[in-house]
A and B are shown apart, each in its own frame.
Chain A
Amino acid sequence: MSYLLNTPAQQSEMLDAIGVSSIDELFNTIPENFRLGRDLNLGDHVSEMELTAQIQQLARQNASSSSHVCLMGGGAYDHFIPAVVDEIASRGEYYTAYTPYQAEASQGSLQTFFEFQSLICALTGMDVANASLYEGGTSVSEAAFMAMRVTRRHKKVVVLESVHPEYRQTLQTYLQNLETELVVVPTPSGTVDLKQVAAVMDKETACLIVQQPNFFGSLEQAAELTRMAKEAGALSIVSVDPLSLGVLKRPGTYGADIVVAEGQGLGIPLQFGGPFLGILACDEKYVRRMPGRLIGKTTDSKGEDCYVLNLQAREQHIRRDKATSNICTNQGLMAIRATVYLSSMGPKGMQEAGKRSCQGAHYLVNQLKANGWKAPFAAPYFKECVLTPPASVSEVVTQAQEGGFLVGPVLDRFTDAFCEETQEQLQNSLLLAVTEKRTLEELDQLVGVLAS
C-alpha cells in the first residue's frame, strides 16, 4: 500500500534538478554510524481490503454499546448522537484543516469555534469559553493553574474527594514537580460536609474544586461551596456534566469563577476514552489568564465582520516558557462536534435529554432497591448512582454482560483514590448511569437479568 504520487520518471527529473544521483544521497547528513542498515521490524504491509477484514474481526472480539446495552458511567457515557453531527464533522474541509493560523483561509473553522465558545457560554452561564482543551481531567488541572495565576497563591489547592478520581490523579501528576500542596477533603457520605471544607480553606488557598454532579452522581451544595471559596479569596472551580445543564442550575447563575467539563456527552463517541473534549469557561475578568485558544470577532480591511485567533500573547508559540499553558494541538474537531450537537439539541432538546436520563436513573435505582440492592449515599443524584448489589459485584457485572448489558465501573478499581472511610462505603459497589437512550423496556430487562 502506498500513498505516494511521483513516478520513477518524475523522481529522476527531480533528482537531476537537485543535482544528486540518488535519494540516498539526500540522507548523507545523517552520520553513517546512526543510519539504520536494515528494515524496521513492523511486519508486512497489508492491503486496504485485508486490513478492513482484520479490523472487523478484532472489533468483534470487543463488547461495545453496539453489541450491548450500555449503562456505564464514571465520566464517559453512551449518549445519543444525532446523525447531523457525524455528517458535519466528517467534512474534509473541517477535519483535514489545521489550526487557523491564516485567518483568511480558515473562516469556516474560526466562525465554528467562535460559535462553540458562544454555545458553551450559553450552556454554562459563563462570560467566556475557550476553543477547547484535551479532556475533562486536564481541564481541571488547567483551571487550577489558572486560579494560581489569578490569585497569585501557589501553595495550596483544595479538591473534594468526590471529584472524579482520575481528574484528581491528573491534577496530582500535574503538580508533582511543584511545591503546591493538594488538599483532598474526604466525602465518606458521598457529598462533602461543608464544615470540613471551611476548616481547610485559608488565605493561601488558590481554589476550591468541586464536581457537580460529583463522581458518584450526587449533587453537592455547589452554590454554597462557591460562596465559601469566594469568602476565602480563592476561586471556585466547578466541573460539570454538560448533559445535566438542561435540568440543573447553570454554574454561572450561582457565581462559579471557572467552569470546566468533560464534553464527551456532547456528540462525541466513547472511543475507549478519547479523543474527548475539555471545556473551560470563566468570568470575563480572568480572560487574559485563560489557557488555550480563543477565537475573537473583529473586522477586516474592508470593514467586514470576521474571526481570528485572539489574545495569542498568552500562548506558547509567542510567550514560550511564560505562556498560560503548553497546549498547541487542542480538540478542534471535537469542539465542532459539540457545536453541531448543541445546535441540534437546542434548549428543549437539552432539557429533554437531561430529564429522560434523570427519570430513567431514578426508575432503575428504585427497581433495583426493590430487588435488594442498596445505595450507600443518600444525597439527591442526577443520572448516575453508586449501588451495592446483594451478590458479589464482579459476578453481577458478568451476569449483566451475558445478558447483553454493560454496567460499571466497579469501584474497586479506584481503591487507592479514596480515604478508608469512603472506601468502606464503596465496598462491593459499582456505578450505574442511565442516559436518554435507555428505554423503559431495557431498564426492566436489566432488572430482570440481575434479579435472576
Chain B
Amino acid sequence: MADDELIWRIAGGSGDGIASTSQNFAKALMRAGLHVFTHRHYPSRIRGGHTYVEVRASADPVKSRGDGYNFLLALGDSFARNPQEGAYYGNEEVKPLSENLDELREGGVIIYDEGLLDPADIPDFEERAEENDWHVYPLDLRGLAREKGREVMRNTAGVGATCAIAGIELEWIQELMADAMPEKILEPNVDILETAYEQVSEEYDVDAPGIDVPQGEHEEEQLLMSGSDAIAYGAIDEGCRFIAGYPMTPWTEVFTIMSQNLPELGGISEQVEDEIAAAALAVGASHAGAKAMSGSSGGGFALMSEPLGLAEITETPLVLVEAMRAGPSTGMPTKPEQADLEHVLYTSQGDSHRVVLAPGTVEEAYDHARTAFRLAYDYQIPSVVIYDQKLSGELTNVPASTFDREPNPSMGKTLTEAELADEPHTEDGKFHRFQHDVEDGVSPRSIPGQKGGRYLVTGNEHNPAGHISEDPDNRVSQVNRRFEKMDAIRADLDENSLLSPHGPEEAEYGILTFGSQQGTVEEAVDRLNANGHGVKTLSVGELAPYPVEAVEAFVESVDEVLVVEMNASAQFRGLTQKELGRYGEKLHSLLKYNGNPFEPAEIVEGFETSIVEDGELPGHETKFVPAAGD
C-alpha cells in the first residue's frame, strides 16, 4: 500500500467502546505528531447495531474524512450474540466485517476478531480479498482479552495489533492509557496491548502490507476537539454563564459540555421540560442580566420559534445553537444533513430578524460562537449558530493557540445605575427602553433590580416606554429601527469577516459552500487544481445578514459556480440567489442527502463530470442540479 496516510476504521456494535477507543487512538496519533480527523457513523440505538469510527492520520493537515479507508479493525458486535425473544437482530454478528468492505481501498489491511466473527458467513469474502489485494489478519482478540482481562478489552487487543502492523510505537498508546484509565483497569489493558502487539509481530510478517504510519511533528501543542467542544468553549469565553436545554441528538453534545463546565465557573445549567421552555428560560435569564444560551436540533428548534420571536421583538439578547440532523420531523437522528437552513432563517412569524452564523471547522466553531454572543448582546437580537451532526461529533487536532482565551464580559448597551440617571434615557422620570432615534438601531437597556431603570417589555408592539401600542407611526419607527440593526451588523461583519476563501485567486471556476462541508470542499479544490483545473472556493459563514458584496464578487470573478451542500432542495443555493438577486444561470448544485457527508472524491468527480465535461453523474450518491438558466 503506497498511501501516505492511514485511515483506520474501527467497527463493532454500539456500546462496545468504539467511540472511546477511536478517540484515544486519534489522540495518541496526535501526540505522536500527526494531523488527525475522525468520522463517526452510528445508529440511533444504545447497545448493538453496526457502528464505526474512522481515524485519518497524516503528516500534513487533514480537513475531512478522506476517501474510503485503508485499515479495518473489525471487532464483533457483542450485543448481537444474545438476541432476546421478539427482537430481530438480523445478521448483525458479521456486520462489522461485511458492512465495511465496499469502501476499503485496494491493498488495504483487515484485522478481524475471529473469536466473534466468521468470514465464512460472507459468501464472497475470500474472492474480494484476493481481488483487492487485501491483507487479512484473523486474530482471536476476544480470547486474548478474556484471558488477560475482560472481554470488553478486545478493543485494546485490536489497537495493539494495529500498532504492530502499522508501525506505531506503543508508548503513545500506553502514555494515553495511563492518563485516561484508573489503575485497576490500566494494568490488564497494558498487558493486552503488549501481548497483542508481540503476538502479531511474531506470527506475521508485519512488513508485508508495506503500511507504515507517516512521521510528523507539531510545532506547538495540539488539542483534539469537536465542533461542539469549540462552540461550548467559545460561549464560555464570551461570558456565557446560563444554559437551558432539552436533550436531542446531536445538540446534546454542546448541552452536555456546557452543563459539565458551567457550575464550576459559577454559572447555571438547567435541563427543562421541553424546547419551548429551554429557549424561554434563556430569554428570561438574559432579560435578568445573564449571558444565556439554548439550542436544539431540527425538531426541537421548531419549538423554539416562539421564544425566538419574543426575543426579537423585546430585543432581548439570545444565542441559540442549531445542530442539524437529517429530517423532516425526527428524520435520521444520528445522520448529518444541512436541510434546516431555511427553517432557521425563516422560522417565527412577522418581520423578525436574527443573525445566523455557520462555522465550517472546529476553529471556526469557536470563533463563530464568540461572534454570535458578541452580536446578540451588542445588537440585542437573537443569533443562531447553525452546524450539523458532522461538525458536532468529528474530532480533529487544532493548535492550542487557536483559541483566543481573553474573556469578554461586555453586555453591550446595558446601562449602569449611574448611566440610567442620565437624562437621554429618561422622560418624565421614566426610563425609555425602546427609543426611536438611536445609533445602530440599538436602544440601551436596563436590568431588573436597577434603580431608575424600570420598564415594561412586551411581545406586543410597544412604544418607547415599553407600553403596548398600535399607533401606526410608532409601529413604523419601531419596525424600521429593528431593521436598522441588521445593517449595522452587516457593517460589523464586513470588518470582522467570517468568510473562508481557499484556492488560487485567479480561477476559472468557483465552488460555494457553507458549514461542515468546507474542509471537504477545500481538499477537493486542491485536488482539482492539481488535476489542472483552475478552481477556488468560498465557504460562507454568515448566512444572515448575508454577505452579498463578497459573494457577488466571488461569483463575478469566475465563469461557473458549483454550490455544494448536504440537502435535496439546494437551500443554500436558493438563499444565495435570493440575496444576490440574479446569477440563476451561473449557480449549479451538487447535492448529497443519504445521511453521509461528502467525501472529497465525490466533489472532484461531481465537478469534473458535470461542470467540466458536461456529463452525467453515475450512481445516486450525489445529485447534480444544473443552473436555472440551462
A and B are interacting partners? no
A residues within 8 Å of B by Cβ? Answer: none
